[in-house]
């Protein structure tokens, strides 16, 4: 098929099928509202092209160049584009599904309201790229390069990011849901307002990271280093922080409901107004920590060290404190209220109503 026939078919809303345009010069081309099926564009040049409303299904773009191209409301379904060049391209309101972009170059590319679902982006380079209001869902991201990238309002789900490169990456309001970031060094990143629900962060180095107002509900952070983090108003509900280091961290107004903090180092940490209801923090160190107005209702803190810590109306209602060390601890604490403890045992589902016989 010639380039002229391709243009005429799309202009007349006629689907293009099984076209062979390998190695063609298509730079500056304008394609609007067309459908291209089972066609090959290997090593073709789309530099500076403008594609709007195009659907490409089961097409081959291996080695093709889309440098400086503009793609708006386009869709790539089951396409192959390994080793392709998308430098400085712009994607807007576009979708890529089950397509292979492995070893491709997306440096300085801008993706706005764009979605990649079940795609292969292994060894892809997004150095200096800008992603906003976009989603990368269930994609293969091994060895992906995101150095210097900017991600704002971006969703990344169910991805293995243990080999990804993040040097200088900037994030704002990002969702890393159920992603694996275990044993990574994430120091230097800004993860304020990030959602890391269900993420795997075991033995990850997050020391000094800004996690302000982030969500780590159900995340696994066993043995992670969060020393010196800035994380006020962060949710650690049901998070697993066993043996993690949180010394000298700012955890003011954080919520640790049902979290596991056994063996944690929280020495020198700011925990003012933090909520540790039903948390398990056995054999943890709270030495010299600020526990002002913290709520520890029904918390299990057996064998923990509170030496030198500061209490101010710290609520230890029904907390298990057997074996705790309170040497040089100062300030006031609220202890168990018996009447309240009895009332909390009330379970209406166990009450059998009494009906007097007539």
Measured CA to CA, the distance from residue 186 to residue 355 in angstroms comes to: 64
Name 326's Cβ contacts closer than 8 Å, sequence gap at least 6: 306, 307
- pLDDT given at position 236: 97
| pLDDT above 90: residue 286 | yes
What is the CATH number assigned to the segment(s) 226-348?
2.160.20.80
For 104-122, write each residue's pLDDT tens digit.
999 999 999 999 999 999 9
Is there a contact between 263 and 282 (Cβ–Cβ < 8 Å)?
Answer: yes
Residue 193 sits at φ, ψ, to 5 deg, of: 60, 25
Is there a contact between 42 and 61 (Cβ–Cβ < 8 Å)?
Answer: yes
SS3 (DSSP) at 127: coil
Write down the mean pLDDT value for the chain: 94
Under the banding of pLDDT at 50, 70 and 90, the label for residue 309 is very high
Measured CA to CA, the distance from residue 297 to residue 317 in angstroms comes to: 5
pTM above 0.85, yes or no: no
Residue 304 sits at φ, ψ, to 5 deg, of: -85, 160
- pLDDT given at position 287: 96
What is the rounded radius of gyration, in angstroms, for the C-alpha atoms of the chain? 27
For 230-245, write each residue's pLDDT tens digit.
999 999 999 999 999 9
State mean pLDDT over 216-243. Answer: 97
For the record, the structure tokens of 344 come out as: 């909390």
Around 123, how many Cα atoms within 13 Å sit in the side-chain half-sphere? 9
For the record, the structure tokens of 273 come out as: 């107004």
Q: Where along the chain do its domains lie? A: 226-348
For 1-44, write each residue's pLDDT tens digit.
788 888 889 988 899 999 999 999 999 999 999 999 999 999 99
């Amino acid at each position: 098929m010639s380039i002229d026939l391709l243009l005429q078919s799309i202009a007349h809303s006629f689907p293009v099928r099984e076209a062979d345009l390998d190695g063609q010069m298509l730079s500056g081309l304008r394609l609007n509202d067309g459908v291209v099926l089972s066609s090959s564009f290997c090593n073709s040049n789309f530099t500076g092209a403008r594609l709007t409303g195009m659907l490409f299904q089961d097409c081959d773009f291996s080695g093709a160049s889309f440098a400086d191209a503009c793609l708006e409301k386009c869709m790539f379904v089951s396409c192959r584009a390994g080793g392709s060049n998308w430098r400085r391209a712009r994607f807007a309101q576009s979708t890529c599904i089950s397509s292979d972009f492995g070893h491709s170059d997306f440096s300085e590319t801008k993706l706005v309201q764009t979605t990649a679902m079940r795609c292969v982006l292994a060894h892809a380079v997004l150095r200096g790229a800008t992603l906003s209001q976009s989603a990368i869902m269930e994609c293969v991201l091994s060895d992906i390069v995101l150095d210097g990238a900017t991600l704002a309002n971006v969703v990344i789900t169910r991805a293995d990011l243990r080999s990804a490169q993040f040097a200088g990456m900037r994030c704002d309001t990002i969702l890393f849901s159920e992603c694996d970031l275990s044993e990574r060094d994430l120091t230097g990143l800004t993860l304020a307002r990030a959602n890391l629900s269900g993420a795997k962060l075991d033995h990850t180095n997050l020391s000094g990271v800004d996690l302000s107002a982030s969500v780590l509900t159900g995340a696994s952070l066993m043995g992670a280093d969060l020393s010196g983090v800035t994380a006020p108003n962060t949710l650690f509900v049901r998070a697993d922080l066993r043996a993690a280091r949180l010394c000298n961290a700012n955890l003011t107004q954080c919520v640790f409901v049902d979290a596991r903090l056994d063996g944690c180092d929280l020495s020198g940490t700011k925990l003012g107004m933090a909520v540790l209801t039903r948390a398990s923090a056995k054999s943890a160190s709270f030495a010299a920590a600020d526990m002002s107005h913290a709520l520890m209702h029904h918390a299990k803190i057996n064998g923990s060290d509170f030496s030198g810590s500061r209490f101010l109306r710290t609520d230890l209602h029904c907390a298990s404190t057997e074996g705790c060390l309170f040497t040089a601890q100062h300030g006031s604490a609220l202890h168990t209220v018996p009447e309240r403890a009895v009332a909390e045992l009330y379970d209406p589902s166990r009450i059998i109503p009494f009906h007097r016989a007539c």
